[in-house]
């Protein structure tokens, strides 16, 4: 028999609104999405949506565009996560120092974080602009480049340039998380290392880096999850192009769903991406968590 005391009635009442909202706009869509992925849903043919089992998944795996998208997403994610992490460590080391103006730099760190991703995309697209962009202007003025070139139009560079824009926006949060972890390192460890004759670099390698492990862990998992599903910059900067140079999984989902209107395969793709994200974060925590 279920008896509810005052505490439990109050808790139920206080929690109910949130649970209701999340059920409608999060839990239900997640389950519904799975149902859609098992049916052949095409929006141009709304009345007939036969059950097809795992056909949508099989169709996706047989599609060569899927494997291109996997490759592009992998490159983009690896580059973005690696660059964000390295840069964040450097920035955290700088901002963890006490020096005049350090507070100002701390405030400045929030600038990229607060910038809307659409503006971020527009800003970098403008910097990379083939005819008037600042990157061309700068490199030509410095004599590095002879004439203006179409940066985003170069299939070999597109992903890296988009990654650069993403890193600019994502680095601050990563740096903040690392700074918090650094502040928690006991000072004695550095004194002891110094007594043992360790130089600046060795102290970083043997004291700072190991103590940074939980922070780095968090940054790696979080940045991977953000990057693997990133969408905004791809729509604004390249729309998957040139050719298929920036054809990532999230862009594939968007094209399949809202341009081809094949909701069934779109949902299957979404599920594959969600599962991959889950699996990756799990693996990170399971294996890297111990060794890092």
Task: Find the shortest distance in angstroms from Cβ 71 to another protein.
Answer: 18
Kindly tell me the burial class for residue 70, based on how many C-beta atoms sit within 10 Å of its own C-beta (0-12, 13-18, 19 or more). middle
Q: Name which position in 157, 160, 231, 292 contacts another protein (CB under 8 A).
A: 231
Q: Does 229 help bind another protein (rule: CB under 8 A)?
A: yes
Mark residues 169-188: x for contact with another protein by CB under 8 A, - for none: ---xx--xx-xxxx-xx-x-
d(CA 104, CA 112): 14
Q: Name which position in 60, 69, 88, 109 contacts another protein (CB under 8 A).
A: 109
118-137 residues near another protein, rule: CB under 8 A = 118-119, 121-127, 129, 131-134, 137
What is the token pair recorded at 71? 């490759």
Q: Does 201 help bind another protein (rule: CB under 8 A)?
A: yes
Q: Does 47 help bind another protein (rule: CB under 8 A)?
A: no
Backbone angles phi, psi at 82, to 5 degrees: -65, -50
Q: Does 51 help bind another protein (rule: CB under 8 A)?
A: no
Task: Find the shortest distance in angstroms from Cβ 158 to another protein.
Answer: 16
Q: Name which position in 106, 130, 213, 241 contacts another protein (CB under 8 A).
A: 106
Q: Does 19 help bind another protein (rule: CB under 8 A)?
A: yes
Q: Does 218 help bind another protein (rule: CB under 8 A)?
A: yes
Q: Name which position in 162, 163, 245, 267 contacts another protein (CB under 8 A).
A: 267
Q: Does 287 help bind another protein (rule: CB under 8 A)?
A: no
Q: Name which position in 49, 63, 112, 150 contacts another protein (CB under 8 A).
A: 112
| Closest CB to another protein among residues 122, 157 | 122
Q: Name which position in 63, 145, 190, 288 contacts another protein (CB under 8 A).
A: 190
Q: Which positions ≥6 away from 191 have C-beta within 8 Å?
A: none
Q: Does 284 help bind another protein (rule: CB under 8 A)?
A: no
Task: Find the shortest distance in angstroms from Cβ 154 to another protein.
Answer: 19
| Closest CB to another protein among residues 68, 206 | 206
Q: Does 7 help bind another protein (rule: CB under 8 A)?
A: yes
Q: Does 12 help bind another protein (rule: CB under 8 A)?
A: yes
Concatenated DSSP letters for the chain?
-----HHHHHHHHHHHHHHHHHIIIIIHHHHHHHHHHTB--BTTSTT---B-TTHHHHHHHH-HHHHHHHHHHHHHHHHHHHHHHHHHHHHHHHHTS--TTHHHHHHHHHHHHHS-HHHHHHHHHHHT-TTT-HHHHHHHHTTS-SS---STT-TTTHHHHHHHHHHHHHHHHHHHHHHHHHHTS-HHHHHHHHHTT--HHHHIIIIIHHHTHHHHHHHHHHHHHHHHT--HHIIIIITT-STTTT--HHHHHHIIIIIS-BHHHHHHHHHHHHHHHHHHHHHIIIIIHHH-
Candidate segments 47-55, 58-66, 72-80, 207-215, binder of another protein by CB under 8 A: 207-215
């Amino acid at each position: 028999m279920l008896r509810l005391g005052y505490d439990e009635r109050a808790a139920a009442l206080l929690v109910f609104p949130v649970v209701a909202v999340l059920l409608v706009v999060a839990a239900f869509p997640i389950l519904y999405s799975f149902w859609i992925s098992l049916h052949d849903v095409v929006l141009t043919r709304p009345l007939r949506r036969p059950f097809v089992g795992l056909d949508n998944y099989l169709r996706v795996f047989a599609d060569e565009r899927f494997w291109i998208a996997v490759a592009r997403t992998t490159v983009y994610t690896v580059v973005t996560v690696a660059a964000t992490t390295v840069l964040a460590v450097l920035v955290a080391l700088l901002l963890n120092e006490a020096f005049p103006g350090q507070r100002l730099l701390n405030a400045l760190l929030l600038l990229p974080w607060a910038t809307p991703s659409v503006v971020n995309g527009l800003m970098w697209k403008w910097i990379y602009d083939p005819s008037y962009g600042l990157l061309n202007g700068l490199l030509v003025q410095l004599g590095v480049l002879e004439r203006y070139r179409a940066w985003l139009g170069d299939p070999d560079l597109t992903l890296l340039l988009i990654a650069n824009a993403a890193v600019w926006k994502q680095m601050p949060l990563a740096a903040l998380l690392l700074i918090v972890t650094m502040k928690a390192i006991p000072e004695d460890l550095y004194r002891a290392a110094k007594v043992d004759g360790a130089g600046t670099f060795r102290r970083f390698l043997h004291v700072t880096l190991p103590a940074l492990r939980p922070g780095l862990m968090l940054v790696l998992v979080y940045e991977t999850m953000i990057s693997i599903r990133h969408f905004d910059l791809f729509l604004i900067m390249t729309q998957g192009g040139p050719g298929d140079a920036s054809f990532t999984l999230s862009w594939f989902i968007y094209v399949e769903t809202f341009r081809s209107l094949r909701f069934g395969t779109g949902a299957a793709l979404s599920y594959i991406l969600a599962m991959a994200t889950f699996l990756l974060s799990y693996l990170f925590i399971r294996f890297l968590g111990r060794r890092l």
